[in-house]
Structure 1
Amino acid sequence: MTTQNTKLGIILMIATTFVFAVQDGISRYLASEYNVLMIVMIRYWFFAAFVIAVAGRSAGGIKKAAATRQPFLQAFRGFLLAAEICVMVLAFVLLGLVESHAIFACYPLLIAALSGPILGEKVGWRRWVAIGIGFLGVLIILQPGIKVFSPSAIVAVISALMFALYGLLTRYAARQDSAATSFFWTGTTGAILMTCIGVWYWEPMTAYDWRWMGALCITGALGHFLLIKCYEVAEASAVQPFAYLQLVFASIIGLTLFQEELETNVAIGAAIVVGAGLFTLYRSRQTSD
């Protein structure tokens, strides 16, 4: 059994968020030059290879990792995450990293709000207040009457909703399957879906951009490796608040490398969303609500 080391877990989570933010920056660049579906497809090929390699080195091998009593649920999870990544990368191109991540940060609030009807979990009044305040932060980012009906803004909201549903289905699947099984199905089924769709959108890529494509694949595998190690040494509830640093790192990349602007309403709204999300995480750790 792995010894719990919260300090190391926090360091690994911070490293994970940084790597994923870099991955988002590379995705934003490549998707602005090539079709989003092709970029995500190639990324998933490497991800599937990584997942299969991890399963092959684990006890019981690939056969054990693939064993599940709920194949349709696991396949749907994999398809949903692949689709969500496509939508999120599209949001990076349409909105930029700063605003996309500011909106996407509301997904923990969506998980909390939907955990009752989908998982039957109890959500107390304090968390409902936090959820309401968090959604107010999202409205501040979207600026009702100005951008709320903009397709660009809606794309980021849809991505957050899809990821929240994916998170809930992952928790539901965990009632019968191990994390290793869910991880295996996530990578393999997503690769199958993206190959079936993305191959029709193939377009030539320059040698320079193939280097960036390689970097995208490596950061994806490295990010998941760090995340796995993080959860091996620390409880998820202890390190999860630090996952919000991806918003910070991605925003820095957007501001410095892509010359994006940090508008006042986005900064204020993001602060409210993150604060509300941290409170819901805190309340979820309490024995009573």
Structure 2
Amino acid sequence: MTRTKLGILLMIATTFVFAVQDGISRHLASEYNVLMVVMIRYWFFAAFVIAIAARREGSIRAAARTDQPLLQTFRGLLLAAEICVMVLAFTRLGLVESLVIFSCYPLLIAALSGPILGEQVGWRRWAAIAVGFVGILIILQPGRGVFSPNAIIPLTSALMFALYGLLTRYAARRDTTATSFFWTGTTGAVAMTAIGLFYWEPMTGPDWIWMAILCVTGASGHWLLIKTYELAEASAVQPFAYFQLVFGSAIGVTVFGETITANIAIGAAIVVGAGLFTLIRARQAAPRDGQAPDR
């Protein structure tokens, strides 16, 4: 129980670090090309991933060893693309609305787990999924219009992240966590470098400092997440991942002057409630199921 409590505290700390990362990404992507910002972030992330994977597997060659390279490559490319889409959403919608819409990804994982992983989803979870998407419809009705193109961006990111999470669980049937982690960082870094270099822009001194902080928060956030899952079962700590929505919204309001309208607050409450219900049901059905990955 003590380890679980510590794991919960670490998960909350992790969500705070990731929320800070989102805020810095919003600032930098508002000033520079999104692809360049994500590319530099991936350089540091790849170095961190290689170091962690090599330490756990004994060598880089051992960490990279897999008999499903196409799946691992696709996972890495998918996550890199998802991060680009989400950072773009921050610049178009802001942190609050983007994170609220993105928070539906556990519902998407539950909905897609049947066709992709062959898992059974009972009627209670299907009901929670339906209720959650009612919350999304409420969120997508601000004064700017229903289903505006900008509102679709974080929803697309949530769908991509849900697919990434399911593919990660599928890959875990034959590969270790360290191997999947290695492929995630390296394939993403290679892809972003191949694209991002064409969008290079000179950065100011202060923004290079922000970029350095962004890289550090990315690595430290994933390090905290690893420690969290070493201490406690994923099913016990995963519900606390919603604190990222709380911290991110606070940064959006206090730093960027965003507002939380009534439809966003109501929709967020419905989506989070439905998501927590699906997590609880999943925990009851498979108390030792693998953890869902985090951004």
Name the structure 2 match of 1:46. 44
Name the structure 2 match of 1:248. 246
SS in 2 for 1:149: coil
Deviations, residues 40-71 of structure 1 (Å, cap 9, x unaligned): 00000000000111123224221111111100
1:169 pairs with one of 167, 170, 191: 167
**Displacement over 6 Å in runs of 4+:** none
* Structure 1 residue 147, shift from structure 2 partner: 3.2
Structure 2 CA distance, aligned partners of 1:232 and 1:196?
34
Structure 2 CA distance, aligned partners of 1:212 and 1:270?
29
Name the structure 1 match of 2:289. none
What is the one-letter code of the residue matched to 2:210?
Answer: W
Distance 1:287-1:166 versus aligned 2 partners, 3 A rule: closer
Name the structure 2 match of 1:21. 19
SS in 2 for 1:69: coil
2:151 pairs with one of 143, 150, 153: 153
Verify: 1:185 aligned to 2:183, yes or no: yes
Name the structure 2 match of 1:108. 106
Verify: 1:86 aligned to 2:84, yes or no: yes
TM-score (norm 2): 0.95
Verify: 1:69 aligned to 2:67, yes or no: yes
8 Å contact kept, 1:4–1:233: no
Structure 2 CA distance, aligned partners of 1:58 and 1:283?
32
What is the one-letter code of the residue matched to 2:59?
Answer: G
Name the structure 2 match of 1:96. 94
Deviations, residues 133-183 of structure 1 (Å, cap 9, x unaligned): 000000000018963331110111100000000001001101111111100
Q: Name structure 2 gaps, 5 residues minimum.
A: 287-295
Structure 2 CA distance, aligned partners of 1:55 and 1:177?
12
Distance 1:40-1:161 versus aligned 2 partners, 3 A rule: same
Deviations, residues 87-133 of structure 1 (Å, cap 9, x unaligned): 00000000000000000000000000000011100000000000000
What is the one-letter code of the residue matched to 1:10?
Answer: I
Deviations, residues 178-231 of structure 1 (Å, cap 9, x unaligned): 111100000000000000000000000001100000000000000000000000
What percentage of aligned pairs have identical amino acids? 76
What is the one-letter code of the residue matched to 1:122?
Answer: Q
Name the structure 2 match of 1:32. 30
TM-score (norm 1): 0.97
Structure 2 CA distance, aligned partners of 1:146 and 1:26?
26
SS in 2 for 1:285: helix
Name the structure 2 match of 1:122. 120
8 Å contact kept, 2:54–2:62: no
2:227 pairs with one of 229, 244, 248: 229
8 Å contact kept, 1:66–1:184: yes
Structure 2 CA distance, aligned partners of 1:172 and 1:249?
31
8 Å contact kept, 2:72–2:183: yes
Question: Alignment length, in residue pairs?
Answer: 286
1:131 pairs with one of 120, 129, 132: 129
Structure 2 CA distance, aligned partners of 1:73 and 1:148?
36
